[in-house]
Amino acid sequence: MPSTKSKICLLRLTAARPHLPVLLFLPGMDGTEISLRPQLAGLQAHFDIRCLTLPPDDHSDWPTLARITIDLVKQANLFERSIYLCGESFGGCLALQIAADYPHLFERLILINPASSFSNHLLMGWGAELLPPLPYYLYYISAFGLLPFLAAFDRIEVHNSQALLAAMQAVTQTSARWRLKLLNTFRPNWTRLRQLHQPTLLLASRADRLLPSITEAEKLQRAIPHAQMVVLPHSGHACLLERQVKLAAILQTHKFMPALASDPLKERYDESHKGI
């Protein structure tokens, strides 16, 4: 396996907005911000948006990923503000891990088709074992075969589906196998999740061809005290890429959108330029 010096990091997706709450996005298995980018226009007026990014060759386990995420948030001094923890698919599992391990460090929890049911499906588990023998070119091509299960092509712009495919193909074969094994071994800490006091929003796609997201969201809703569930009736697993899905509108409807805050820097500028 080639070695790199790349590290897990927090990527800033908007201009610095220190007066706004933080939306901390935890991505899917591709480990990138690709799926959140179509949603930025609606979210950026309300949040300072950061995304955890995973190097293509990262082999961290769940507790390590959770600890590194918390360390990065501390280093960026983000705990001084409200943090909305948002995890999609693989990132949904990480969000559940963080919620269980560090329950007092975030204000709200948003889970989008979390892959926490992965271990219940034998076919998925076998996938982790089938990856190592594949020659590289077959592994590279296999991403094409997986894409229809991840995404509803008729609902996604071509450039977004191409970006998702490129991000999937960038993940090394050994790392993909490792992340599948992580999903296969993930078990929510139900005892701690039942003690959460934060409002939680569960987004579940009815047309998810990869995982039974509706069933899993219902299970999580029963376990987490202040959870509400939103069903996306026509969406696939990678729902944030779909042009019809507007995360900002969903958050607004379900009272998960923070009120627009005034920008102190802009206010000072406006005050200093009065009468000019």
Q: Which amino acid is at 39?
A: Q
pLDDT digits (tens, 9 = 90+) for 206-258: 999 989 999 999 999 999 999 999 999 999 999 999 999 999 999 999 999 99
Distances (CA, A) of 257 to 22, 57, 113, 217: 11, 35, 19, 21
Distances (CA, A) of 18 to 46, 206, 264, 266, 271: 11, 37, 9, 12, 19
Band of the pLDDT at 153, cuts 50, 70, 90? low
The answer, yes or no, to whether residue 272 has pLDDT greater than 70, is no
pLDDT reported for residue 221: 98
pLDDT digits (tens, 9 = 90+) for 154-181: 888 888 888 888 888 778 788 888 888 8
Q: Where are the domains of the chain?
A: 9-258
CATH of 9-258, one of 3.40.190.10, 3.40.50.1370, 3.40.50.1820, 3.40.47.10: 3.40.50.1820
How large is the average pLDDT for residues 139-162? Answer: 67
pTM score, whole prediction: 0.86
pLDDT digits (tens, 9 = 90+) for 22-60: 999 999 999 999 999 999 999 999 999 999 999 988 999
The helix (run of H) or strand (run of E) holding residue 110 is: strand 108-112
- DSSP letter for each residue of 147-176: HHHH--GGGB-HHHHHHHHHHHHHS-HHHH
pLDDT reported for residue 160: 86
